[in-house]
Amino acid sequence: MMLLPIARTAHRQLDVGDVRVFYRESQPERDDAPVLLLLHGFPSASHQFRRLIDTLGARYRLIAPDYPGFGHTEAPDDFTYSFDRLADITEGFVQALGLTRFAMYVFDFGAPVGFRVAERHPDWIAGLVVQNGNAYTEGLSDAARSFISLRPETPGAEETIRELLTLSGTRSQYETGVPDLSPLAPDGWTLDQYFLDLPGRKEAQVALAFDYHSNVERYAHWQAWLRKHSPPTLITWGVGDPFFPEPGARAYLRDLPDADLHLFDTGHFALETHLPQIAPLIADFLDRRWN
């Protein structure tokens, strides 16, 4: 009987200060397997990587944490939600695991979190997989620019943000820009909404939404970091993304001309529809670039 290489995955918790971080970690056959840190986006959590971990986790060590305010991670009531603090916890998580060299998958919120960590520890980063994770102003749609411009003192601003945190708002983030909806399992947005509806979670997301402008203000720093360190980079991008359109993917080539760029006719959550196309690209990238 042929045995299929399906990953064994452990589900664990790790304390970083007063935050109990939940994470998923594959257990590959090789002890020296390449490590890929998976940084999820909004409004999801590490569960968005379950199928990728099943597909590649027997061959590579895939590690996917939930940020504070997301998924199964537990944060104290007085936790301050900002992208700096999400990066602090992610940095502490990496240090607690004893990781010193890994590739990093940055998607959506994972880009501002991951690039902050990379700025602090460039020696950690063996390579980047960028999937609809923006770091350029040309990668912001008009809708994204309008959303980022919201401030707490703007009349109706919080209500606008909270509209995005409803089931219809969450589902639309999966479906917008996807020509064929049949590959989209409803489990993703259903589970996302479950976590969004937990006590305190919407307030956390409102705080992060009001802080998003801090990411745009750091774009030039991240671009300078990319030019200086030139990490091997694979870019996979859903061109129907309503927030981060195709020019954001192509902009990386300005600072990383040797990056591998692959565009897909899908939306924001490209792995939901194009895992069979993207997973082999990641495997090939890790095999060729790991050092």
Catalytic center residues: 268
Q: What angle do CA 28, 30, 34 make, to 5 degrees?
A: 75
Q: Could you give the CA distance from residue 170 to residue 235 in angstroms, rounded to a whole number?
A: 24
Strand partners, 105: 38, 129
Quick one: which of 202, 209, 258, 215 has its CA closest to 235? 258
Quick one: which of 243, 214, 40, 246 has its CA closest to 116? 214
Q: Could you give the CA distance from residue 270 to residue 268 in angstroms, rounded to a whole number?
A: 6
Both tokens of 122, joined, read 């460039």
Contact by Cβ (8 Å): 87, 61: no
